[in-house]
Structure 1
Amino acid sequence: MPLDRTNKVSCNNYRCEIEVTLEVIGGKWKSLLIWNLGIHKVIRYNEFRNIIPDISQKMLTQQLRSLENNNLVKRKVYNQVPPMVEYSLTDLGIKLLPILEELDLWGKEFISKLDK
């Protein structure tokens, strides 16, 4: 069960596994973070701010922590001054990439049909 839910709802209250998946990757930013890590492989914290300029520092930190807590993203801290932090996908996070690719294709098709 995603750690986000541990204090909210029992695992027994999920109606199906799709609900779990959407909770783990849902929201405005998580899927974008995963998608960009799939493209770039490794991204430094400040690079995320350039790639996704509309995300606030607070929200970026919260979303990355959530993804890290759910074992989708790994965080590597280098002991230097100033500190450098890099993020990459775990094996579990990499398994989401085909799903996100299908969502991307579906979205493009949906938009193209709206334009007609």
Structure 2
Amino acid sequence: MEKKQLFGLCPYVTAQRILTGKWSMYILYLLTDGPIRFNELQRRMPEEMTHTTLSRQLKAMEKEGLIIRTEYQQIPPKVEYCLSDIGDKFKKVLAELEVWGNEYIEFLMNNEKTKTP
């Protein structure tokens, strides 16, 4: 029996497939304030990230239509990334994830306190 392909049909499977990159949600968060240059994005990442890894993640997100890459013809070269229209709609999701994330952090802290002998 063939498994059902849910991408493009189920909103959860579709979102999960689009946001597969380890840092995709954090990159979207960083872009919520407006365009950012590549090196600035790399500096703002919470962990050391290689140029290649960030570049690969950005290319995947651009391919999926979440971000827009703008290359300016100047010397030295300048490239900026910003949210696309559909990427901008993700801001609401990020806001809710922030609320839930903070609640979960509080849960972890409270849980840690109850474990202390």
Q: Which of the five TM-score ranges fits, normalised by the shorter chain?
A: 0.7 to 0.9
For residues 35-84 of structure 1, the C-alpha deviation after alignment (integer angstroms, 9 at most, x for no partner) is 1000x311001111111152221111011111111111001101111110
Is 1:50 paired with 2:48? no
How far the C-alpha of 1:27 sits from its partner, in A, is 3.3
Taking only aligned residues, the RMSD between alpha carbons, in angstroms, comes to: 1.4
Is 1:32 paired with 2:42? no
Runs of 4+ off more than 3 Å: none
The equivalent of 2:113 in structure 1 is: none
Is 1:115 paired with 2:109? yes
Identify the match of residue 55 of structure 2 among 61, 82, 90. Answer: 61
Structure 2 residue runs without a partner (length 5+): 111-117
The equivalent of 1:100 in structure 2 is: 94
Structure 1 residue runs without a partner (length 5+): 1-11
Indicate the structure (1 or 2) with the bigger Cα radius of gyration. 2
